Each structure stands twice: as structure tokens, then as C-alpha cells.
Amino acid sequence: MQLFSSSIGRKIVMAITGQCMVLFAIIHLLGNSTAFGWLTGGLNAYAHHLHSLPLPLLWGFRLGLLALACIHIWFGIQLTIENRACRTQQYAVKNMQKASFASETMIWTGALLLLFIIYHLLHFTFQVINPETGALINPDALGHPNVLAMVVAAFQNVGIALLYVGAMVVLFLHLSHGIQSSFQSMGWSNDRTQPCLIKGSTLGALFMFLGYAAVPLIILVRILK
Amino acid sequence: MSDHKTMTLTLIVWRQKNANDPGKFETYTAKGITEHHSFLEMLDVVNEDLILAGKDPIVFDHDCREGICGMCSQVVNGMAHGGQDRTTVCQLHMRKFKDGDTIYIEPWRARAFPIIRDLIVDRAALDTIVQAGAYVSCHTGGVPDGNAILIPKPVADESMDAAECIGCGACVAGCPNGAAMLFTGSKVSQFAVLPQGKPEAAARVKALEKAMTDCGFGNCTNHYECQAACPKGINVKFIARMNREFLKAQFS
Amino acid sequence: MILDGKCPTGPIQQTWDKHCFDLKLVNPANKRKYNIIVVGTGLAGGAAAASLGELGYNVQAFCYQDSPRRAHSIAAQGGINAAKNYPNDGDSIYRLFYDTIKGGDFRAREADVWRLAQVSNNIIDQCVAQGVPFARDYAGYLDNRSFGGAQVSRTFYARGQTGQQLLLGAYTALSRQIKLGTVKMYDRREMLDLVVVDGVARGITVRNLITGELESYAADAVCLATGGYVNVFYLSTNAMGCSVTANWKAHKKGAYFANPCYTQIHPTCIPQAGDYQSKLTLMSESLRNDGRCWVPKKKEDCGKHPNEVPEEDRDYYLERKYPSFGNLAPRDIASRAAKEQCDDGRGVGPGGRGVYLDFSTSIKRVGADTIKERYGNLFEMYEKITDEDGYKRPMRMYPAPHYSMGGLWVDYNLMSNIPGLFVLGEANFSVHGANRLGASALMQGLADGYFVIPNTIGGYLATVKPGAVNAEHPEFKKCEEDAKRSVETFLSINGKRTTSDFMRELGGLMWENCGMARTKESLETNLKKIPALREEFWKNVKVSGSGNELNQQLENAGRTADFLEFAELMCRDALHRNESCGGHFRTEYQDAGEAQRDDANFCYVGAWEFKGVDKQPELHKEPLKFENVHLAVRSYK
């Protein structure tokens, strides 16, 4: 299959997997936003809904996401190694015209995001980091896992809150290039739409950053307790 | 006109005897340069002095010196063709520089373009890509009347936008990945938009993509440095079109 | 000796079709047994190599650039003529034929020009089929523009880079054949000799420009499509690598050189800025569709800013002298008119060598946006080079050497007097007479390559046994030895002047004494000075480095040495032709500034036979007969 072996094919796979993960990130953000109280029962109710999904569906979803991430990471590393080999000697003067800090650091922002996601899963999903505040062992009044309490406890710690906000800066960088890049790789771009895509991509990434960073920040400054 | 004002410049130039030589930078002084000198004429002046001093002149590719043949290929201060918008290095004039400037001059650097000598590289890979199928397989003679195939102006213009590529390789030189996506994309697009090119469009994009990879060019990471380097201002929309054509070709 | 062009007889409309039928054919199965060498990959060479390969011949193609796509045909801006008569403005094959004969000042062969006009239509179809993106209107039909020397719109174009688009068409066709294996491409090779065995062209000697190795290639026929020689003026619109070398070597091996004095000086080029300058840049003739040429009426206004010269003090000299063609007068006439104004002390810019090309009237009429759409890239190029804005102040223009109508003599089959040596495109002399009309060079190159040579070469090959001589023949070794010796000589001189220094001096002499206007005295001066310069060259040239590596000085030295010999022939031809016609203007022969032909004595092609470097060449004549167009004084008034 040319999609998995060719240069353009692998870029298209990068784009599709990336876009799927962005979609997941949007859903995740919607879930997070229940912390602001628009869903009766807030974050805990949302978590309960998720957990009451049939197990095969939940795990199917989780494994699917895992597969997407693995493909994205695998091809990302492979393409980067190949690209480095295509320019063995650099120019004496580095003088980029259009490339941005974000576009040049995709592999590193990607790697940082991977580390963050592992930390985040261990922290809030599997709750092996700081297990004493874990939601599963501290149910709320309805007997559901008290996710809100876990999150609040975590983000009242300045270090953890700043770690999450920092990770979201990295996410912003990765997405500000990644979103528009995925449109270009899929061929959904022309000279008229491209400037809008570039702006839209930055705005989208900014929106994600603000959305995600909002929860740790409002907890840190004790707006949400 | 300020014909009397002259400049003195310091040139730091890549010198490499042949493909196997590791190569190194050498420093030269260019004296008596006016703002009307073209960049290559400035190098001519330096070379005349080198020859008379019994030294090897700086070797560089050039031919038409009017920005169309695509032969000239120098990276000036880290920018392919010197960084002036839509200008080849042969059309770059010294009025863009100031007296006392230091200028770095290097060859195109990419794995697919091995250095032959000094500033001359081997760009045969671009020919290989074209040979893989960047054409309409028509015969000489036996073709319909030119007006038998109607091509509306916007379509003809789109094809022409892609066809303006002069094949200099600046897109590859500018790309941090040494990719030839803009070159290949412009070839794919020139023919893909025209009715004459449609019958072979799927086979063409697959063949060109494969040739591009086989020649040792890198992958696109959408930095768009290629468009900035292109002396004809070819738009990266043609890369998007190639991607689209490629995806389409997988299902045809 | 009286030369015979072997033109078919009978009604001219049928000559080419009848001739094609009369030519012998090579059976398709036998074609692959024949080897053909094509030198040069511009429009003529590229198209020929592709077409011959497709027919089934084994083709070996050579170019000095790094890719066949870079030949100087690429620089043609304006367009290509064809007698399609799409605009319904009265064009026809006959009119294109007539305009070309008249434009050439009645110094071209009727049958060749007819054939050119006839196949011009096929060229457009061919290029469209290849995917050349010609300009179109919104309904999808091909668009046309006007060019000098014609009163109909028959020029097809692709923005300001028609040459590149047509060349890419030929190059892609060639690439397809390379992929199919019918054509073997040798790039970065410079032809240094023609190998002639028993009077028949059998191959070439080339220098590999990367390794410096001398290589021999044998074939059953050799096609030279090696372009023109106006770099003999040093400063010209040609590419730096354009030279007379291939043609000159063939000439030294016996091929006649026809009409070398017919050189075209293009009226609209950007004036020279200084002594260091390496080339001149042309601005398309299409600019004269909307630009008006003028100089100040008063000498004292020449130093002023052009916009400060009031309308009544401007001399629109082309409109004044040639009211019916106005600014679209043919190139030779427009160039001479510009020189006349400058010689009169009314030139503008540095050294008084320039005239204005003014767009202000057109900008007022159609708006700056329309002008920008039509010529935007040319205005940009002008600004890059001169740092002046052509929209705000008139451009400065001056004539510059651009094209050579003369070239190796060929018969109707494009074969030179050496059997097996064919010459195509600008390298031959055949269709432009003494002056070429705009947008006709592209037409000729492609006509020769796509439609003429594929037919006529078969007629020759059918009469010869394939593979009669191979590269092991002693003559090939001898040619390699000769080439090696000249390389060694260049390297051993170790003098004090560089090759470009010599070329600058030669160019100066040629421009001054054998340029836009020539006199008996000026030509005789050159005939004394050129041999002296040549002698100095062989004693005092400096070429460093070695022969077995990439050595651009060595390349230039070879080209300069050939120009130094060729220049003499050019002056000799100009001196012998005691008349003025087209691009050849002898000051003695004029009628109030207009060229005065002498049909009684000079209505012939002058083809020169080489007799030795310092020996007088022998003149052979091919009389020109005009049976379909009446010889008349060319008037554009």
C-alpha cells in the first residue's frame, strides 16, 4: 500500500492520525469544560457517564486512540530521521524565510507531548501518581469517583498546575503548525484558503491552549475550589 | 546615478575541488563594485583577479543571466538566490548590499544534489523526475487543432502558474528537508489541471512521487521555505494539489 | 561554384507535400539500426531528438548545459507566429510566407519559407497537445497578439515566457524518449569537432565538461542545432555559453558558412551600464504594442528628467518616419532609427546611448492595471536591473545583438554540403533572409525539429548503409588528438590577459565596425585588427588549472579562439556584400537612411568555404529566385 510506504502517503497518514487526535482533544476539552458547571453534576457526572459506557466501547475507543498515537509517533520519527539525512550539511548562515519556531520543532514538541500524556494518564486516569487524592478511592456523595476533588487537589499544587499549563504551551506550538499542515498534506488547501488556514490553525491552537489551561489556572488562583 | 561610488565587500565562499573533497570556506575581497553590478558580475570581477594571480577562480553555474534558464544556483547569506523576492541570483544586483558587507556564498545543499565543484551541484535528479512521467504522452504530429480542446482562461492560467518553474532547484536548496515537493508538485499540477493531461494524471502523480523518493529527496513538512526561495514565486498550493492528486490516485 | 538548394519545383503550395512523397523512406524495422547524433537541445535540437527517437532511430543528444531544458531558446519572451487566422483578420499561409520573405528583405529561399509558413499551424497544435499553457480567452480559445513587421495578430504566447514553455514542451517530449530508451542524453558535453570520413559526416568529438575527458561518438548522421553566433559582439542577449564553436568546427571541416554578416540587432534592450557588464537583457518586442519610442527634439533636453521634457519637445521618431507601422516597425528598421537618433546627439542616459520607451499614453488610455497585466514581469525585470520604475518614468532602451540570420549553408533537406551533416534552427541560414521578424525564431526551431528533419533525414539515411563507420576509426582518434593539442596549447601559453578580456576587445571591434552600420573602411579596419588580436591571443592568453577537470576558463578559451577566427569571416562577408539589406546596413548604400538593396548583383546566398585560418575563404553563390513574391523595395511607411 503506497499510503504507508511513500513520502506523500505517510504525510497523509500523519495528517489523518493528527486530525483524529485533534478531534479527540476537542471532545476532551468539552468534557473538561463541565468543570465550569454547564452539565448538572459537573465533572463528576461527566466522568460517570464515560465510565458507564459499555466496556468494549470504552476500551475500543482507548485502543483506537492508542493506535492512532503510535502510528503518528512512528511515522513522525521515521520521516524526521529521513529528512535529517537529506540535508547532511547545514548552511553556514541559517536564514529561514517562512518556517516558524513551531514548524521547526514539531518532533520535539511531539516528544514532550508524549511524555506529558504518559504523565497525565498515570496521574488522572490510572491514578498511580499521588494515589492518595485518586478519584476512585475517594467517591463523592453520589458514590461516583470524585474527579473534581482529585483535579482540585492536584492543581492547588503550584508545580503541578504550572506543569500542565506548560504542557499546553507545547500543545499550542504543536497544533499551530500541525492543524494547517494537516490540511496541506491532505490537499485541502489552495492559495486563497491557505492564509486563512494558517491563521485559523493558530487561532484553533490558541483556543485549545486557553481551554485546557483554564482549568488548572482557575483552580490555582482558587476561583474553583 | 551614482556610478562613482564603489563598494568593497568580504566574500566567504565555499571551495570544493570535486565531489570527494571535504571542502572549506575561503575568504576573498571584492573591490571596485558598483551598485549596477549584478551579483555574478561581482564574482566575475573577483575571478579575473584570481586568474591573473594564478589562482583557481570560483566556479559557478550560470548561463542566460536574465533569470530564466535556471542554471545559476547559489545560496547567499543562507538564502537560495540571495533572498530578494522572485529573483534569481543572476538578477540580484549589488545595490542590495552595502559597502563593507560580509557575504557568505554556498552551493545548493541537499543529499540529492551532490556538489561537483565549488558552487556547482549535480541536479540530474530533477531531470529524472521529469523523465518518470511529467509529460503528456502525445506523438509528434497527428494531434487535434489547437482550438479543438477548449481551455478556459482560469484553467490555462492555473497551469501556467505551475509551468513557470525554471527547474533551478532553489526549492530543494531552501527546504530544510532537501525535498523536491514544490518542483514535483508544479509538474504534476501543470498537467493535472489541463484536459490534455487528465488521462494520465493518476499514473503520473504516482510515478513522479516514486521518482522523487528514489532520487533521495526528503519529505515535506510544510515549512513553505520552498515558496520563499522560488525565483518564480511558485505557490505551495501546487504541493497541496499533488497531495490531492496522489490521494485520488490511490482509489483509481 | 553555383550552389543548388535542391528546392522542389512546381506550384509553391504543393512543394512540401510533394517533396515528402518523393523522399525515400526507411522501413520502421530498419530505423533502429541507424544512429543519429543531435547536438544542442533547444527548440530545434530538442524537438528533433524527441521526434527522431519516437520514429525509432537511435538518437544520442548532447548539450553543454546541465540539463537539456536550459538551452537559450528558453529566454524568448514574446511569442510564436502561426498562420491560423483565428482572429479572422486576413491572415493565411500565403501572408505569413509573404511577410517573412519581405521581412527578410528578399534574401531567403521561397520554398523554405513556404514550408515554414505551412507547418506553423501544426506547431501550435503540437504544443497544445503537449500541454503548453498558451494564453487563452475566457471561452477557452487561444489568444493572439501583434508583433513587429506584420499587420495581423498571429502571435501565440504564454505570458512573457513563450520560449520557456515551448522548450519545456520539447524537453518533456525528449524526456519521454529518454525514459523509453530511444534517446541517450549526454549533458555537460561541448562539441569540439566534427568527424568527417571520406567526405561524409560520421560523428563528433566532445569534451566532458565535468571530467575534462575527450569523448568520440559515431553515427550515421549528425544534426547540429547549436544556435547562433552573436556573442561575437561579446555583449548580446545570448546566454554566456552560446558560441560559434560547433558551427565553426563544422565549417573548418568543409561545411559552407552562409551569410554570416546578417546579424539581428534587437531594438529594445536595457542599455549597458558599465564596462564590467557581462550581458545585455532584452525586453520583449511586444512592449512596442503599447510603448512609444521617443528622444528629445533638442540636445539640451537629453540630460533632463524625461517627465520634464514637454510633449511638443519630444520626437516620436518611429511614428514620424513610419506612419503606417509606427512603433511596430521591423527590428532592423527600429534599431537603426534608434541609433540614428543617438548618433544625432539626442540619445539619453549614460553615454547618450538610449532612447525612451514611454507607456504614459497607454497607461492613460487603458490604465496602469491593464499594462501591468500585459507586461508586469517585464517592468519588474527592468526595475531589478536599472532600479527605475517603468510605470513612472519612461524606460531607457538601446539596440543589442540578438540573433544571427546567417549560419551554416543547408539545402532544402536541411543538409549541409557535407553529406550526413544536417543543420537546424538558428544554426542554419535558411528562412530569415537578412532580417528575422519577431516571433519567427521559435517557429523555425520547432518547424525544423518536429516536422522537417524527421522527414528529410529519412531521405538521406535510406541511401546509406547503417553503422558503416564506428568510433574506432582512426579519424576519430585524430580528432581527439587535435582537440587534446589545443587544450594543451591553451594551458601552456600562460600569458597576461584573460579570455574575457580578449572577448571584450573583439566584441568592441565588432560592435564598432561591423555592428548596426558598416562601412568599407570600418570593415577593412577590422580585417587588420582581428588577425592581430588573434595573434596576441595565442601568445598572451592566460588559462590556469588543468585539462582533466571542470575548467570554465578552458571552455571560454576555446570559444574565444573560434570567435576570433569567425569574426574575420563575418567582416569579410559584410565587406563583399556591397548593398544594404535587413540587418546588414552598409552606410554607403542607403536612400535617406533606408537600406538600399542591389538585386542585380547581390540577390544570392553567399556561402563561404574554409581554406585555412589565415587564407582567403572561397565564396560560393546560390542565386535566389523569386517566383511568388515580387522583388520590391521594402517599405513600412
Q: Do A86 and B225 touch (CB under 8 A)?
A: no
Interface residue of A2, A87, A108, A196 to substitute, partner B, most B CBs within 10 Å? A87
Residues B166 and B108 in one domain: no
In C146-252, beta strands by DSSP E: 155-156, 183-186, 189-197, 200-208, 214-218, 221-224
- According to DSSP, the β-strands at C395-404 and C314-315 are unpaired
Using a CB–CB cutoff of 8 Å, tell me whether B159 touches chain C: yes
- pLDDT category at A135 given cuts 50, 70, 90 is confident
pLDDT at B2: 44
> In a 3-state reduction of DSSP, which class is residue A204?
helix
Element (H, E) at C39: strand C35-39
> Mind telling me how many Å the CA of A191 is from chain B's nearest CA?
5
Chain A hits for B104, CB-CB cut-off 8 Å, are: 91-93
Please say if the pLDDT value at position C551 is more than 80: yes
| Type of residue at C533 | L
Q: Do B212 and A97 touch (CB under 8 A)?
A: no
Residues B47 and B96 in one domain: yes
Using a CB–CB cutoff of 8 Å, tell me whether B218 touches chain A: yes
Using a CB–CB cutoff of 8 Å, tell me whether B55 touches chain C: yes
Domain ranges (residues) in chain C: 12-80+106-118+159-263+403-461, 265-400, 480-623
- What is the C-alpha separation between A99 and A79, in angstroms, rounded? 17
pLDDT at B52: 93
Residues B206 and B100 in one domain: no
Residues B165 and B102 in one domain: no
pLDDT tens track for C10-27: 999 999 999 999 999 999
pLDDT at C560: 98
Neighbours of chain C (3+ CB pairs under 8 A): B
Q: Which CATH number does the domain housing residue B55 bear?
A: 3.10.20.30
> Mind telling me how many Å the CA of B45 is from chain C's nearest CA?
8
Residues B110 and B221 in one domain: no
Phi first, then psi, for residue B171 (nearest 5°) are -60, -40
**How many domains, in total, are found in chain B?**
2
Write down the H helix ranges in chain A.
2-5, 7-32, 42-51, 55-86, 101-104, 106-120, 147-155, 158-186, 193-220
Angle at A64 between CA A63 and CA A70, to 5 degrees: 85
Kindly give, in sequence order, each residue whose CB lies less than 8 Å from that of residue C103, ignoring residues fewer than 6 positions away. Answer: C149, C330, C432, C433, C435, C436, C437, C440
Q: Tell if the pTM clears 0.80, that is, is over it.
A: yes
Residues B82 and B141 in one domain: no
User: B90: domain range?
Assistant: 7-116
**Per-chain mean pLDDT for chain C:** 96
Residue B110 located in a structural domain: yes
- What is the C-alpha separation between C105 and C599, in angstroms, rounded? 10
**CATH fold group of domain C480-623:** Methane Monooxygenase Hydroxylase; Chain G, domain 1 (1.20.58)
pLDDT tens track for A147-194: 999 999 999 999 999 999 999 999 999 999 999 999 999 999 999 999
Residues B127 and B96 in one domain: no
Residues B99 and B144 in one domain: no
| Type of residue at B96 | K
pLDDT tens track for A77-132: 999 999 999 998 999 999 999 999 999 999 999 999 999 999 999 999 999 988 88
Please say if the pLDDT value at position A33 is more than 90: yes
* Cα–chain center distance at C390: 28
pLDDT tens track for C563-618: 999 999 999 999 999 999 999 999 999 998 889 999 999 999 999 999 999 999 99
- Numbers of helices and strands, H then E, in chain B: 8, 7
Average pLDDT of C500-518?
Answer: 97
- pLDDT category at B4 given cuts 50, 70, 90 is low
Assigned CATH class of C12-80+106-118+159-263+403-461: alpha beta
Q: Do B135 and C124 touch (CB under 8 A)?
A: no
pLDDT tens track for C354-393: 999 999 999 999 999 999 988 888 999 999 999 999 999 9
Q: How many CB atoms lie within 10 A of CB B231?
A: 27
User: Which of C294, C54, C78 lies closest to C175, judged by CA?
Assistant: C54
Q: Which residues pair with C618 in a beta bridge?
A: C609
- pLDDT category at A133 given cuts 50, 70, 90 is confident
Residues B103 and B154 in one domain: no
- pLDDT category at C31 given cuts 50, 70, 90 is very high
User: Which of B160, B159, B168, B134 lies closest to B64, judged by CA?
Assistant: B168
> In the structure grid, which three cell numbers stand for residue B165, read together?
518553474
pLDDT at A137: 81
Second CATH level (architecture) for the domain C265-400: Alpha-Beta Complex (3.90)
Residue B204 located in a structural domain: yes
B145-174 residues touching A, CB cutoff 8 A: 174
> Mind telling me how many Å the CA of B216 is from chain C's nearest CA?
19
Residue B194 located in a structural domain: yes
Q: Which CATH number does the domain housing residue B172 bear?
A: 1.10.1060.10
Q: C378 with C283: CB under 8 angstroms?
A: yes
pLDDT at B1: 42
Domain ranges (residues) in chain A: 2-88+100-220
Residues of A with CB under 8 A from a CB of B: 2-3, 6-12, 79, 82-83, 85-100, 103-104, 106, 177, 180-181, 183-191, 194
pLDDT tens track for C306-350: 999 999 999 999 999 999 889 989 999 999 999 999 999 999 999
In this complex, the residue of B110, B209, B218 whose CB is nearest that of residue A8 is B209
> Mind telling me how many Å the CA of B31 is from chain A's nearest CA?
23
pLDDT at C275: 87
Please say if the pLDDT value at position B49 is more than 50: yes
pLDDT tens track for B124-166: 999 999 999 999 999 999 999 999 999 999 999 999 999 999 9
Chain C hits for B93, CB-CB cut-off 8 Å, are: 384-385, 387
pLDDT at A42: 87
CATH number at A2-88+100-220:
1.20.1300
Using a CB–CB cutoff of 8 Å, tell me whether B5 touches chain C: no
Residues B135 and B65 in one domain: no
pLDDT at A1: 66
Residue B2 located in a structural domain: no
**Per-chain mean pLDDT for chain B:** 96
Catalytic residues of C: 331
Interface residue of B11, B243, B244 to substitute, partner A, most A CBs within 10 Å? B243
Q: C79 with C157: CB under 8 angstroms?
A: yes
Q: Which residues pair with C218 in a beta bridge?
A: C203
Please say if the pLDDT value at position B3 is more than 60: no
